[in-house]
Amino acid sequence: MLSKIQITLTRNSVCMGDDLEDHTKIINIRSQRNMQKTIINIAKNYLPNITGCGHSWDCYLDGTKIAVINGNCNEITLTADCPSLKNGCEFFFKYNSASY
């Protein structure tokens, strides 16, 4: 049986009204998960659904950019070798609005 670890999630606000909320969330996940599947699961359950297209999220793990999530989890690209997850690690999601 895989052990569970505690991780912290945080993200940028996506609009002025969203600035009022604290976006920090602490969750427990299995420690030996595939990183891409982990990011997909977190993104689908944690990030807000944004109307429109062209936006993205940069995913950082303990300060290192590890992935880009395009749209509402439509495509995820790993951008770095991902370290293994450890208890107490932090995911930060930086919002990139659509630009035309």
CATH number at residue 23: 3.10.20
pLDDT at 3: 82
Q: Report the distance separating Cα 84 and Cα 67, nearest Å.
A: 14
pTM score, two decimals? 0.86
pLDDT at 18: 67
Dihedral over alpha carbons 54, 74, 72, 67 (to 10 degrees):
-80
pLDDT over 80 at 94, yes or no: yes
Split into its structural domains, the chain has a count of 1
Range of the domain at 29: 4-96
Summarised one tens digit per residue, pLDDT across range 13-71 is: 777 666 667 789 999 988 766 888 888 889 999 998 888 788 999 999 999 999 999 98
- Nearest Cα to Cα of residue 44 among 93, 3, 97, 96: 93
